Structure 1
């Protein structure tokens, strides 16, 4: 299995107190952990929440959201912080760190830097798993299997509605790959005005056939119901549907992979507990339990040996699944994300 090394745009130089082993937090106040929920949240419940609560007697209260920074920003600006630890995607992590929404991670205190893959180490975040946004399809509803994003755009040979995430991120990359741009050239093209126009022109061609999703649970639900015949989707959501006996399949070529991170909300009164939890959730044994429940790649390499060959082969980080895949360019979306999302929203409002 190939480990990832996504280029970091920030530094993590800060001295701190050396931590040795898992500290047991002692507080009566509830500790709130916010994730993206769904099948991943269920896996976190088994791998992290319940065993952490059993070992520490911390009152851990899980919750979920659909991402974004608006609610976190409002909490920090008003000083009314009710979330302690949040799962965030990499562009939001970097942007939120720059704006002061997240605590700077004291990596000496955490004591994990040498245990995790390089891309899990960020100034304000600790990577927790590697995931992919993939093309998924219902094999019971198509006569032949689509292989590429060009197939996704081909409504003549593959008739039916398609699902795409309602936003610029991922969608613009897929549009360019559908137009023949190789995965390793996508961000170079998208950095040019001509490339952006090209991506939106591709969306214009498909707009009448798109059903837009906003929550990760929607693509597998729509695929099973027949509302769409193929959709972009988080790979773990499709795996969960497969476990339930649904004949949903993944085309890995042209997938986009990245990490999700734990970030401590600035102003949290549970910083000590957050460090304890992050350390606990980063241990190989616990990461293996999580990845066995949902095929997102562990960031602690020692967890790999605890997975079966079948389980390892379903990870985004498996060599076969990385072939033709695209690493999320976090710096690109930090630099251009706000502008592109505004243009996407204006475009979508005219549909």
Structure 2
């Protein structure tokens, strides 16, 4: 494994990559069937290697055991990890230098347009994908030069012991301190202003983009809950541990972190209604040393059985809904791609967040400035 940087800050994009240091405890789960070797050997067999970006920690350990090693066994192609906190700065630097050392990278959807417009990515070779992948991965997740790798969401989590008669069911309940008393916690990030809009009755289809009038409305709603927020958290592991310690009764929380705790028996419940969801894409880098092998690895990863392995390894699901039949029955209802849950989430407008304003700043920069100003007043 080529290690380029220590894995220290897993929250990017939605400030969320601590997200991906979910436990490796589930790696021994025996549920996922072996990858379809006949298909892999027919279309994906090869030689040499492929250099793939990885976040390090339990993410790398899990994806190696559940995906990369199985890919090598099925195809004969070795996977080399390059580990860093985030991929975008290195991809940008390689493109500027005109020397691409990686083949496959994970790109925050907010940054996608920048690289797409610069011609950094190769078209995805969907002809290598098997039928179960093409049918299971929604068309809107399969772009010409990128495909969704996984989604992560900020959702409502609560300690069920604090509410023996039933806990909150939506963000309006989170704001209702009379019906659901107790200290709360929220993530200190601007894009979660959409949670306040949900609490204020704004329809899901109208929460994005975060125009200035919506920001004003969201911050006014935050004024209401501010006295009851015991903590504005930043690190992904904080909410679950603090919920278990009784520091607060409910919080926004990364879905993967909560899922790990629930499957380990923690008295935590999650609410998908109004969850704020962001995407991360796989992209094959143009000019990479082994781009053909990268296309094969991408096809392998998106096979339904391998996708299930990815989910078990990271607790964050890729887009292939056909993987659900290969996953443990206790895990499926907790995932964001489960149909009922998927119908309740709100997909962040990452394209808008990454777009430039007339003053040259991105929309994400602008809302972060508004958020910081509110927090410090």
Aligned length: 324
Offset at residue 79 of structure 1 (A): 4.7
Offset at residue 250 of structure 1 (A): 0.1
- Cα gap change, 1:308 to 1:108, in 2 (>3 Å): closer
Contact kept in structure 1, 2:302 and 2:320, CA below 8 Å: yes
Alpha-carbon displacement from aligned partner over 1:299-350 (angstroms, at most 9, x marks no partner): 3344333235443322223233234432333443344792243332453265
- Cα gap change, 1:44 to 1:184, in 2 (>3 Å): same
SS of aligned partner of 1:279 = helix
- Cα gap change, 1:312 to 1:301, in 2 (>3 Å): same
Contact kept in structure 1, 2:102 and 2:289, CA below 8 Å: no
- Shifted more, 199-208 versus 277-286: the winner is 199-208
Distance 2:334 2:203 in 1: 24
Q: How large is the Cα RMSD of the aligned pairs?
A: 3.4
- Cα gap change, 1:330 to 1:239, in 2 (>3 Å): same
TM-score with structure 2 length normalisation? 0.72
Determine the structure 1 residue equivalent to 2:196. 175
Determine the structure 2 residue equivalent to 1:117. 138
2:365 pairs with 334, 341, 351, which one?
341
Say whether residues 1:318 and 2:338 are aligned partners.
Answer: yes
Gaps of 5+ in 1: 1-18
SS of aligned partner of 2:134 = coil
Say whether residues 1:134 and 2:158 are aligned partners.
Answer: no
- Shifted more, 268-277 versus 337-346: the winner is 337-346
Distance 2:331 2:121 in 1: 34
Alpha-carbon displacement from aligned partner over 1:200-236 (angstroms, at most 9, x marks no partner): 2223444452634444344333433444432222322
Distance 1:342 1:126 in 2: 28
- Cα gap change, 1:195 to 1:33, in 2 (>3 Å): same
Offset at residue 61 of structure 1 (A): 1.8
Contact kept in structure 2, 1:295 and 1:311, CA below 8 Å: no
Distance 2:302 2:177 in 1: 44
Determine the structure 2 residue equivalent to 1:148. 170
Contact kept in structure 1, 2:129 and 2:303, CA below 8 Å: no
SS of aligned partner of 2:195 = helix
- Cα gap change, 1:318 to 1:145, in 2 (>3 Å): same
Determine the structure 1 residue equivalent to 2:17. none
Q: Post-superposition, which runs of at least 4 consecutive aligned residues in structure 1 deviate over 6 A?
A: none
- Shifted more, 116-125 versus 41-50: the winner is 41-50
Offset at residue 261 of structure 1 (A): 1.9
TM-score with structure 1 length normalisation? 0.76
SS of aligned partner of 2:196 = helix
Gaps of 5+ in 2: 1-40
Offset at residue 285 of structure 1 (A): 1.8
Offset at residue 238 of structure 1 (A): 0.9
Distance 2:176 2:60 in 1: 34
Offset at residue 284 of structure 1 (A): 1.8
- Cα gap change, 1:129 to 1:244, in 2 (>3 Å): same
